[in-house]
Amino acid sequence: MARVSDQPIRQRDAERTRAELLAVATEVFAESGYSGARVDEIAERTRTTKRMIYYYFGGKEQLYLAVLEEAYRGIREAERGLDVGELGPVEAMRRLAELTYDHHLEHQAFIRLVAIENIHRGEHIQRLQSLRDLGQPAMSLLDEILERGRVEGVFRDDVDAFDVHLIISAYCVFQVANQYTFGYLFSRDLHAPESRTHLRALIGDVVVSWLSRR
């Protein structure tokens, strides 16, 4: 998308201009990486000019920082929607794994941004104090499910939330982040419809059978 919305364009609207730059910048950085992204291209894809990037953000790097911060905040927002409350611990855990899988497939641009940031050894994210310990909400939910499972005697008691989160995240991120090389090396399309169904069930299966008492 080049325009953020089709509502009649007011001549002057600082908020709108800033938001549009941020949205387009998110796309472009996710597509091309930090070095690969071109300030001129970002500007061209908006209804405004390059000048505005410097007016609102200060420069390419600050724009990228704003993109990162906004992207992480959006994801945290989306994660709030996760709900597995009614289910028993085993099914809740399976559900959480599967929802996480879906969630990652739906936010590929975000995962690309994360991959890009890691290429840069996290030098930018470390400057965003607002993101410190952003992982806590996800951990709490996991913790609660794990605890219920332990109380009911269906889950082993030597695994903590962090480990579970790591396994699920790694699996789901990999599906998106490494789809091209992995798909090529094994001649498979991880995102073909049949594959998705199978791979979605797979992570639930792995987690549940790993955590279950035997």
Partner DNA sequence: CCGAGAATGTACCAACGGGTACATTGCCGT
Partner DNA sequence: ACGGCAATGTACCCGTTGGTACATTCTCGG
Residues that bind DNA (CB under 7 A): 10-14, 16-17, 37-40, 47-52, 54-55, 59-61
Instruction: Point out which span in 12-20, 47-55, 77-85, 126-134 binds a second copy (CB under 8 A).
Output: 126-134
DSSP 212: B
Residue appearing with tokens 């219920």: 148
Residue appearing with tokens 């641009």: 109
> Tell me, what amino acid is at 56?
Y
* Residue 171 is a binding residue for a second copy (CB under 8 A): yes
Question: Least distance in Å: CB of 83 to a second copy?
Answer: 22
60 binds, among a second copy, DNA, none (CB under 5 to 8 A by kind): DNA
Structure-token pair, residue 99: 């929802």
* Residue 194 is a binding residue for a second copy (CB under 8 A): no
Grouping H, G, I as helix, E, B as strand and the rest as coil, residue 37 is coil
* Residue 119 is a binding residue for a second copy (CB under 8 A): yes
Say if residues 90 and 152 touch (Cβ distance below 8 Å).
Answer: no
Name 124's Cβ contacts closer than 8 Å, sequence gap at least 6. 61, 64, 65, 68, 117
Cβ proximity to a second copy: between 87 and 206 the closer is: 206
* Residue 118 is a binding residue for a second copy (CB under 8 A): yes
Report how far residue 148's alpha carbon sits from residue 140's, in angstroms, rounded to the nearest whole number. Answer: 12
Q: List interacting residues with a second copy (CB under 8 A).
A: 32-36, 112, 114-119, 121-122, 125-126, 131-135, 139, 162-163, 166-167, 169-171, 173-175, 177-188, 199, 202, 205-206, 209-210, 212, 214
